[in-house]
């Protein structure tokens, strides 16, 4: 059965072998608390790389048993991130999480050609799973935070990634909407033309595992009535599982609208590296980080 709520990942993971996660520069209370809760739920084993004194202080203040973690002491943020990546490359962890280190430093270490986590010719993208009371199921969306203006090659990779993430949530054949300002296949709008090409690639079996359609406007992708009024007949229209955005502005506005005005909850990871990389904001809530850890474990 598909997972329809983010907390459904917890029950699914409890029935599986625990994944091993390493957190880079994990000095802050939100990261430590989220990792602690994930360990208590029985879904991961956790390693914290960071300033041991700071970690001890946080654990004391938050009444967290420090013995539940493996701790690697490193007070420098970049060195701590590199040590976390080294743990992955040594085969001692299955996925990685960002702690208090800034996103640019975190990604710089992951992208390092010699010591990082990048396979040859890989494309990194940020994938978010959104739970919103106004929609009848989870939405897998990309890219809202990483690739500013995806090329068609990157959009193809993103399409494959969102299918993969949706399948990890139990959606056997995900429905992917390639978004644009209109559902008309206009050659004058780049997003429309590229969506039409990618959609036809899926029709021809060049993209597998899901129903892919585009261009689709957002209303047509998510609302059956809009699709019926506009006479758009599609496996995807009105019932999308996944949204692929034409640019980072549209994706980021959609993402923040859900969290800031609609009370939506989310989980997010970066995919395309050797392992999933949890990339929540330093200011994200413990709950968001916990859901993101679960999503990383689902895809590790």
Q: How many CB atoms lie within 10 A of CB 275?
A: 22
Using a 10 angstrom Cβ sphere, with 0-12 exposed, 13-18 middle and 19 or more buried, the burial of residue 217 is buried
Give the max Cα distance, the chain. 62
Q: Is 172 exposed, middle or buried (0-12, 13-18, 19+ CB in 10 A)?
A: exposed
Which of 25, 38, 12 has its CA nearest to residue 290?
A: 38
Written as tens digits, the pLDDT of the chain (300 aa) is 899 999 999 999 999 999 999 999 999 999 999 999 999 999 999 999 999 999 999 999 999 999 999 999 999 999 999 999 999 999 999 999 999 999 999 999 999 999 999 999 999 999 999 999 999 999 999 999 999 999 999 999 999 999 999 999 999 999 999 999 999 999 999 999 999 999 999 999 999 999 999 999 999 999 999 999 999 999 999 999 999 999 999 999 999 998 888 888 999 999 999 999 998 776 678 899 999 999 999 999
- What pTM did the predictor assign? 0.95
Q: What one-character DSSP code corresponds to residue 233?
A: -
SS3 92: coil
Cα–Cα distances in Å, from 161 out to 169, 193, 230, 286? 13, 21, 29, 25
Domains present along the chain, CATH in parentheses: 8-121+273-299 (3.40.50.10950), 125-261 (3.40.718.10)
Residues 6+ apart with CB under 8 A from 1: 170
| Measured distance CA(223)–CA(261) in Å, rounded | 19
Give residue 121's region: left, alpha or beta (phi > 0; psi -120 to 50).
left
C-alpha angle 163/85/255, rounded to 5°?
40
């Amino acid at each position: 059965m598909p997972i329809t709520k983010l907390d459904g990942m917890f029950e699914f993971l409890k029935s599986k072998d625990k994944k091993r996660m390493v957190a880079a520069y994990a000095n802050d209370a939100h990261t430590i608390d989220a990792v602690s809760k994930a360990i208590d739920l029985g879904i991961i084993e956790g390693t914290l790389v960071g300033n041991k004194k700071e970690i001890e202080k946080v654990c004391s203040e938050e009444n967290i048993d420090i013995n539940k973690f493996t701790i690697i002491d490193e007070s420098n943020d970049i060195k701590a991130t590199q040590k976390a990546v080294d743990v992955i490359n040594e085969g001692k962890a299955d996925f990685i999480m960002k702690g208090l280190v800034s996103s640019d430093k975190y990604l710089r270490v992951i992208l390092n050609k010699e010591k990082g986590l990048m396979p040859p010719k890989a494309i990194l993208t940020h994938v978010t799973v959104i739970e919103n009371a106004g929609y009848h199921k989870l939405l897998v969306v990309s890219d809202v935070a990483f690739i500013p203006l995806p090329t068609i090659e990157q959009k193809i990779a993103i399409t494959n990634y969102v299918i993969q993430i949706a399948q990890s949530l139990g959606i056997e054949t995900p429905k992917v909407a390639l978004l644009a300002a209109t559902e008309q296949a206009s050659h004058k709008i780049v997003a429309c033309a590229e969506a039409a090409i990618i959609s036809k690639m899926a029709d021809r079996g060049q993209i597998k595992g899901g129903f892919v359609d585009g261009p689709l406007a957002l209303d047509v992708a998510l609302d059956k009535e809009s699709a019926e009024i506009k006479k758009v007949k599609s496996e995807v229209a009105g019932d999308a599982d996944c949204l692929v955005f034409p640019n980072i502005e549209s994706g980021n506005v959609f993402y923040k609208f859900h969290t800031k005005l609609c009370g939506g909850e989310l989980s997010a990871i970066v995919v395309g590296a050797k392992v999933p990389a949890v990339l929540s904001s330093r200011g994200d809530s413990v709950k968001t980080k916990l859901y993101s850890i679960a999503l990383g474990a689902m895809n590790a």
